[in-house]
Structure 1
């Protein structure tokens, strides 16, 4: 198997002449021996003649014919059953050769010759660039991310130029977005909706006869000045509105709002404080979470708990819920004494009191055969309790008025003379920032012509500047990262060093997904960015900046494929412990782990194995780790006997490698090879199908079904190099919980087979357990470093890896291995390389 890996690697680096030699010496003789009788000059069945096939895969008809040959061999349809059959080794040799040729041809087609071509900003970069250029924050529904369609991907990222096409319909979308940005950036007069403070006093709920049933049970009791909560949730019921608005909407316009909950509490017997969640009904989400807090203030000394969040006009009723509730409320049949009393009250029309008494009866533990309350139900001293004073909403919030975007564009203030001279000054300041380079005076002329036309048609000066701003934000000089080459066509012009402004943009879009900031522009102006020490210092500064969170969202999210973790929802009847909190946590875990590795400058080898995890309380419970409280993610040392640690022990990885009912070792194996080693397997032949689920009367494990699948020689070729990586992870079930016995599908009850995670890796290393498997992967840390460096370089440059990058990548991985193995070291090595600084 090692020979096969070396063969593929060599094939990828071979010249066409070397391909032809391999074909003539090894492949053509096999075809002549086994295929020529049916597909030669005398008889061309299916109109296929193998004697006319060549090693030139750049010809589409020739490549298509080779694909057909590979597929027919894999499906066992060639040679026919009554003819001599290709040996398994020959099938593997032909299949590997064809796959390598196809990849080489595809790579050649995508290749830029090591050049970074002009590429469009993706929608994340566009959004961040506008926000940084104009000092804007986008509320819900106003961000370009909410309007622009998702990009395609290439090489695993949405930053590669070949996937970032711009057609007329997308250009129309960009202009619409730019107009909305301009309308929000430049304003006229005071805000349409001034900031207001709306308050819900919780005693108002208790005093409202129409909704008195909310406080009908022991778990929700009116007390002086508010409401005491032991279970359940409150509702706003139209008692919280923006002035002049009807219904339950506190957001008259899309914007940012401050939610403040004043509350105090008493911890439960376990010492845990009451935890409250504020939610708001929303058409897209039945109840959308706004804030979640542990109430640590004493019950008799309530404090304010606040959060500022974006809200839209679709939000409705607000609710406060106690999460660690007692479960006091029970649905039991009313006792006769309550029925009699309720009947009397019903005759007088006092239905609210009927509901209150009925709920009280349930909470106190009355039942059909009891005439007295259950004393255990009346003792609430061991339960966490919360006192709710008020819920306050303030908004829409404005950092200032006019907004900073307005004063940044219209920099002379309200007393300026609003004419074309002022407009020229506006764009002379704005365009060098927007286009990320110095501009010649005449470059402002096209924008000024647009402004002049608007003024001639009677539009206000503010409106004319808005139109000019929208034009600026849809200009190719803003939409594209342009590294001009005036000599010849980009693909044929000789390489050249980037100038400092181009280098500033390449660096900022790599680490911040946005335009350079003032410091980078100043260094570019002083021609300081071509200095390696300066670049290294900027890497440290930029990774310490809050905008480095965009690197986590951009690179880590796509590299680790967290968007795929929730593709399948675990079957509820099999995995009852799975809940929304766990669903959210499994997606966040690898990103929080990445952030910790980055910020604390820890070794990247921790992605293979680590002695810590980065988890919250919900994941800690899932992983059987004690002593973790709260929803905040934090670094937690692992107990000695824990199988956790590293990427492959994270629950989200295993949920992604499942279908909701059973694990899928092949999907997990592909994740290991592609994410950790950047080594995707060859694509399977058509109609190969998946490993079938168990049918009635069978109870085979996934391993047993895979072994059956491998009995077919054509299938065994791929599975021998894939199955060990997936089966090694079988101790993790569909939701990533550790298991020693098979579960899922129809494996329930006491008679369940034990998990067998053993296997043999393609390099010959054998293992009996997941821990041993992980240790063998750690021995391949050079392979991991190289893969990570390749991924980072693709993300940084927006192009595929080329053979000319080999020296840069080798130097980067050697530097890591000899140093501290951190992202900082790797990034600095790439950023200070000739490849990064060359057009």
Structure 2
């Protein structure tokens, strides 16, 4: 039986945690009710509420002796578990009991095992009791649920509503979202404090000011600066030198590691001011030089932070060769006036010299003239050598031809979202009310009754009587709409008891699931016509999955599911890991997102997340992994051979790095990540006052972290958890803290040679593996478990709440649909979107 002598604390798997999505008033009432029920449970459950006698007999025979006040080997007190299955007090614990019984994990060796007939009977009875309680709870669910928009969702929504680009993550804007296991959209975590309210008002004012500026709209301008204009003062003197030598090449600028060169000054685009803030397009023509076998030049563009550094806003690997320069481009949201700089990032400087060694000689236009690495006569003979005799760079350098900026950009689609929103100056009250009603219906994502806008229209009237212009008074009414709970929150439900969402509510749930934004006009129209069901629902979901806005889902879900916010949380020690730099970190963080994009767009089988013979990488990652460099810049699909020791998510640098600290890898953290992300099971927290892993004394022999963990896990309060977690982390012992492949573990302190690593292990079910490749093969064989966990992660993201035992039947239905479709990733997402689970309140 499951819980006979389990020495570890009994904490349920994450997917069975209870659900508390309630309004404040309901929450207070429910908390009071639960407190009363807990008190009743602690006093003993009345016989009228107790389960039938067979359950009690089984528990008494097999469980109570180890899980009661007399036995301290487990935190679970079965004698105190509520037998009132309608209360939802302990349903998650009972669900975990069923799962553990079916898995055959318990009892421990040496204890008598219940017969198969006994197990079948108890599982059947518990399942029936849970279903009865579930039906009762579903009938009594709270009438209204509120889910606050995350910052990213707010950003996307104001853009789709008004065509305004607004960055809520900037300092001083909206508060950072609270995370729950990486997810930033869990309703119970996104509270609303007074500081939130102030910032929402400020954000709405900023958005409306940009949508309806009080000054004349600034026309977009395009400015191009050549290298001669930027860095040679126009290049007149330098051109005379070129003419003297008969050189017809254009002047170029060398941007070498450690130099910071201007990329944009606000005055390039005329008069500057807040009204010029917006979207700008950057283009520049450049090529790169580098040592044979060295890194490609990397160009960072951002605000200057020091003599040799910038805070990068955008990054480029400059892979184009000197004789075939390439035009690179990107879009940036800028607050004017803005001053940006170019900075080359490289880790292959000659003899460890920094850019300061070259800056004094090459930092001024008088110091040198550069057009091509072959024109050595033009270089200052007193300058350090930049190229070898074959034109190869001594270190990675960018060769810049010109830079061009265009903006602020306002597309026709963005303009169209604002057309007709503001009533004319002579509009009657009825016309104003019609305009505001149309705006509120789009902003609140549902039909709006006229009486709901009474206060808003009254504020408009008062402002007009006080002498304000119609447009200014109306903007106050719009401000009130944008600071209403109906905009800031996704509101699901009304004061009536019903099982499913309305078409309007379902439209919002789908759009924030698949687009991280509000519904578009077509989805609104489908909801308005009452056609968001059956074939109509399938058509809309299929359309949404191929719309460009699905990229928001790809970026947001993959980042949250994989907990990529932890990448770089503990910056690696540069002395221990000299190959690690900010661009490598950014590239690592991008790889799993781009990998997920490829899996979804091409509807590849879910197995690829566990193991694959390809990845999506850029030049920086290819250099780090030892792979052939992509033929063009940016991320692209790269084939993998076994010797690369990569494939799937688990051996990506981001995953291996986020589960480490700045000095060493952490097998336990890696095991916990696999347990949570791959199997959706959160291990219990370690017991209090557990002794840390003992350091190696100076006179001791060098041993691996794994060997030191083995001694630590002898502690009886630690052994059970480590037995389940550690093998999931030991599989990756051949990767160091930043994900580099190794055969020996670098050990600080102690005597002797650094020890060989051991990546073998035994899974809890007894299956052995020899290395990470074998480990991944075992995971692929457990595809059903991973697929179900992946569906649970998707459903948590879609529903914006923690799953409960009440959702298990719906999860099983989605799983069966996914299995029918061979576990294609897009098919799984589609199955979740079309499921009854997503349509339920």
Deviation at residue 270 of structure 1 after TM alignment = 6.3
Paired position in structure 1 for 2:566: 564
TM-score normalized by structure 1?
A: 0.76
Paired position in structure 2 for 1:514: 517
Deviation at residue 330 of structure 1 after TM alignment = 7.3
Q: In the superposition, relative to structure 1, how do residues 238 and 754 fare at CA in structure 2: closer, same or farther (>3 Å)?
A: closer
Q: Secondary structure at the match of 1:409?
A: coil
CA contact (8 A) 2:704 2:747 kept: no
Q: Secondary structure at the match of 1:582?
A: helix
Paired position in structure 2 for 1:484: 493
1:439 is aligned, of 436, 448, 452, to 448
Paired position in structure 2 for 1:392: 404
Quick one: distance in 1 between partners of 2:563 and 2:676? 10
Deviation at residue 787 of structure 1 after TM alignment = 0.9
Q: In the superposition, relative to structure 1, how do residues 464 and 766 fare at CA in structure 2: closer, same or farther (>3 Å)?
A: same
Residue 132 (str. 1) matches residue 160 (str. 2):
yes
Quick one: distance in 1 between partners of 2:364 and 2:17? 81
Q: In the superposition, relative to structure 1, how do residues 832 and 232 fare at CA in structure 2: closer, same or farther (>3 Å)?
A: closer
Q: Secondary structure at the match of 2:784?
A: helix
CA contact (8 A) 2:264 2:338 kept: no
Paired position in structure 2 for 1:379: 389
Quick one: distance in 2 between partners of 1:177 and 1:353? 45
What are the ranges of 5 or more consecutive residues in structure 1 without an aligned counterpart? Answer: 37-49, 64-86, 91-103, 335-341, 343-350, 368-372, 488-492
1:409 is aligned, of 421, 438, 442, to 421
Residue 286 (str. 1) matches residue 303 (str. 2):
no
Quick one: distance in 2 between partners of 1:568 and 1:54? 42
Deviation at residue 762 of structure 1 after TM alignment = 0.7
Q: In the superposition, relative to structure 1, how do residues 421 and 273 fare at CA in structure 2: closer, same or farther (>3 Å)?
A: farther
Which deviates the most, 309-318 or 791-800? 309-318
Quick one: distance in 2 between partners of 1:257 and 1:436? 30
Residue 740 (str. 1) matches residue 752 (str. 2):
no
Deviation at residue 499 of structure 1 after TM alignment = 2.2
Which deviates the most, 392-401 or 564-573? 392-401
CA contact (8 A) 1:231 1:328 kept: no
CA contact (8 A) 2:295 2:348 kept: no
Deviation at residue 783 of structure 1 after TM alignment = 0.9
Aligned residues: 738
Quick one: distance in 1 between partners of 2:397 and 2:77? 83
Residue 427 (str. 1) matches residue 436 (str. 2):
yes
CA contact (8 A) 1:570 1:578 kept: yes
CA contact (8 A) 1:364 1:377 kept: no
Q: In the superposition, relative to structure 1, how do residues 641 and 356 fare at CA in structure 2: closer, same or farther (>3 Å)?
A: closer
Which deviates the most, 440-449 or 177-186? 440-449
Quick one: distance in 1 between partners of 2:792 and 2:231? 63
Deviation at residue 632 of structure 1 after TM alignment = 1.6
Deviation at residue 486 of structure 1 after TM alignment = 2.8
Deviation at residue 752 of structure 1 after TM alignment = 2.0
Deviation at residue 306 of structure 1 after TM alignment = 3.7
Which deviates the most, 797-806 or 282-291? 282-291
Quick one: distance in 2 between partners of 1:634 and 1:610? 15
Quick one: distance in 2 between partners of 1:313 and 1:183? 15
Q: In the superposition, relative to structure 1, how do residues 746 and 200 fare at CA in structure 2: closer, same or farther (>3 Å)?
A: farther
Paired position in structure 1 for 2:279: 256
Q: In the superposition, relative to structure 1, how do residues 818 and 272 fare at CA in structure 2: closer, same or farther (>3 Å)?
A: same
Q: In the superposition, relative to structure 1, how do residues 434 and 16 fare at CA in structure 2: closer, same or farther (>3 Å)?
A: farther
Which deviates the most, 441-450 or 551-560? 441-450
CA contact (8 A) 2:562 2:677 kept: yes
Q: In the superposition, relative to structure 1, how do residues 540 and 747 fare at CA in structure 2: closer, same or farther (>3 Å)?
A: farther
Deviation at residue 658 of structure 1 after TM alignment = 1.4
Deviation at residue 278 of structure 1 after TM alignment = 5.9
CA RMSD of aligned residues (A): 4.8
Deviation at residue 471 of structure 1 after TM alignment = 0.4
CA contact (8 A) 2:670 2:729 kept: yes
Cα displacement string for residues 364-420 of structure 1 (whole angstroms, at most 9, x for unaligned residues): 7879xxxxx99x96735344987644333333334469955542512x6xx663453
Paired position in structure 1 for 2:251: 226
1:448 is aligned, of 437, 457, 460, to 457
Quick one: distance in 2 between partners of 1:598 and 1:327? 43
Deviation at residue 610 of structure 1 after TM alignment = 1.6
Paired position in structure 2 for 1:541: 543
CA contact (8 A) 1:661 1:745 kept: no
1:179 is aligned, of 182, 202, 205, to 205
Q: In the superposition, relative to structure 1, how do residues 729 and 127 fare at CA in structure 2: closer, same or farther (>3 Å)?
A: same
Cα displacement string for residues 768-819 of structure 1 (whole angstroms, at most 9, x for unaligned residues): 2211211111121111111111111121122222223222211221222232
Deviation at residue 831 of structure 1 after TM alignment = 2.8
TM-score normalized by structure 2?
A: 0.76
Paired position in structure 1 for 2:698: 696
1:583 is aligned, of 560, 582, 585, to 585
Q: In the superposition, relative to structure 1, how do residues 718 and 137 fare at CA in structure 2: closer, same or farther (>3 Å)?
A: same
Deviation at residue 683 of structure 1 after TM alignment = 2.0
Which deviates the most, 236-245 or 391-400? 236-245
Paired position in structure 2 for 1:793: 795
Q: In the superposition, relative to structure 1, how do residues 424 and 617 fare at CA in structure 2: closer, same or farther (>3 Å)?
A: same
Quick one: distance in 2 between partners of 1:51 and 1:778? 36
Paired position in structure 1 for 2:332: 309
Cα displacement string for residues 94-116 of structure 1 (whole angstroms, at most 9, x for unaligned residues): xxxxxxxxxx9xx99xx987778
Paired position in structure 2 for 1:604: 606
Q: Secondary structure at the match of 2:838?
A: coil
CA contact (8 A) 1:256 1:309 kept: yes
Quick one: distance in 2 between partners of 1:830 and 1:186? 39
CA contact (8 A) 1:266 1:273 kept: no
Cα displacement string for residues 479-503 of structure 1 (whole angstroms, at most 9, x for unaligned residues): 222233333xxxxx4x433222122
CA contact (8 A) 1:212 1:352 kept: no
Paired position in structure 2 for 1:729: 732
Cα displacement string for residues 458-481 of structure 1 (whole angstroms, at most 9, x for unaligned residues): 222121121111100111222222
Residue 529 (str. 1) matches residue 532 (str. 2):
yes
CA contact (8 A) 2:759 2:772 kept: yes
